[in-house]
């Protein structure tokens, strides 16, 4: 059984506009609790007990959050800016920061601004030699990374394709095998000047080492002010079920 989860939560979240001006967007309140609380609660319900959270922007607010909820969750904070500096960006950076803590074991990886069902989180608890990526059929796949899958194996992630190549999008929910760390030093800066996690995954995919599964439950992206209401509605519906 996998127990550890890597949560990437170093960014500010500029799409949240002024709401994230003074604190990380992960801590914007929904129904009187920070959004991050609900992600952590679902992870705990799914059986993941050890959280390693990579922070950066306004890290003192994350430290306060940790102090407030220390009895609810077991969290180790890693400051990305301390490890890599403030000039190195990208979704691969949290892996670089936590290599010593996670190397040699399988682990779940999520972003701190996404919410998944307990059922789907449990389905990713697969301790084998493969890495896994969770996909979702979407009406506007051109706005996301699209998964090309054959026989259950990921062949490639294509970011925001100009031409239709499928409708299965990347939801940012992963289970990684220890092999993921072997390829971190093989990626270069992307066209937008960042080190991308999807480039690491594509290296593994070329080796037929990544399996794809479809989400069965909810996936909520907490990125824009309008998403606050969507999460509230989902939480209210869950409470009434």
pLDDT digits (tens, 9 = 90+) for 144-160: 999 999 999 999 999 99
Residue 208 falls inside a structural domain:
yes
Q: What is the mean pLDDT of residues 14-18?
A: 83
Task: Give 228's pLDDT tier (boundaries 50, 70, 90).
Answer: very high
Q: What is the mean pLDDT of residues 10-14?
A: 84
Beta bridge partners of 161: none
Task: Give 21's pLDDT tier (boundaries 50, 70, 90).
Answer: confident
Ramachandran angles phi, psi of 219, nearest 5°: -135, 115
Beta bridge partners of 75: 51
Q: Given its phi and psi angles, is residue 231 left (phi above 0), alpha (psi -120 to 50 degrees) or beta? A: alpha
Residue 153 falls inside a structural domain:
no
Q: Given its phi and psi angles, is residue 143 left (phi above 0), alpha (psi -120 to 50 degrees) or beta? A: alpha
Residue 118 falls inside a structural domain:
yes
Contact 73, 45 (CB under 8 A): no
Per-residue pLDDT reduced to its tens digit, 161-208: 989 899 999 999 999 999 999 999 999 999 889 999 999 999 999 999
Per-residue pLDDT reduced to its tens digit, 23-59: 899 999 999 999 999 999 999 999 999 999 999 999 9
Dihedral sign computed on CA atoms, order 47, 53, 59, 60: positive
Rounded to whole angstroms, how far apart are CA atoms 154 and 152?
7
The CATH number assigned to the domain holding 225 equals: 3.90.550.10
Residue 163 falls inside a structural domain:
no
The residue range of the domain holding 87 is: 4-134+170-240
Does pTM top 0.75 for this prediction?
A: yes
Residue 142 falls inside a structural domain:
no
In the chain, the number of structural domains is 1
Q: What is the mean pLDDT of residues 116-133?
A: 96
Rounded to whole angstroms, how far apart are CA atoms 141 and 234?
23
**What element of type H or E holds 206?**
helix 197-206
Give the side-chain half-sphere CA count within 13 A for 188: 1
């Amino acid at each position: 059984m996998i127990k550890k989860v890597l949560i990437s939560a170093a960014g500010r979240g500029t799409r949240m506009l002024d709401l994230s001006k003074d604190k990380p967007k992960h801590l914007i309140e929904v129904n009187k609790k920070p959004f991050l609380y609900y992600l952590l609660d679902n992870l705990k319900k799914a059986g993941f007990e050890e959280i390693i959270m990579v922070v950066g922007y306004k890290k003192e607010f994350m430290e306060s959050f940790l102090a407030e909820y220390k009895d609810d969750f077991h969290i180790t904070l890693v400051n990305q800016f301390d490890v890599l500096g403030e000039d190195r960006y990208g979704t691969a950076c949290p892996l670089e920061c936590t290599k010593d803590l996670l190397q040699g074991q399988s682990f779940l990886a999520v972003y701190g601004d996404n919410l998944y069902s307990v059922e789907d989180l449990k389905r990713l608890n697969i301790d084998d030699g493969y890495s896994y990526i969770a996909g979702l059929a979407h009406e506007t796949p051109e706005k996301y990374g699209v998964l090309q899958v054959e026989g259950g194996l990921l062949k490639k992630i294509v970011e925001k394709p100009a031409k239709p190549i499928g409708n299965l999008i990347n939801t940012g929910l992963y289970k990684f095998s220890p092999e993921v760390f072997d390829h971190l030093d093989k990626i270069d800066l992307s066209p937008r000047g960042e080190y991308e996690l999807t480039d690491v995954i594509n290296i593994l995919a070329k080796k037929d080492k990544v399996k794809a599964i479809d989400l069965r439950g909810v996936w909520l992206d907490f990125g824009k002010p309008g998403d606050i209401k969507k999460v509230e509605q989902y939480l209210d519906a869950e409470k009434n079920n």
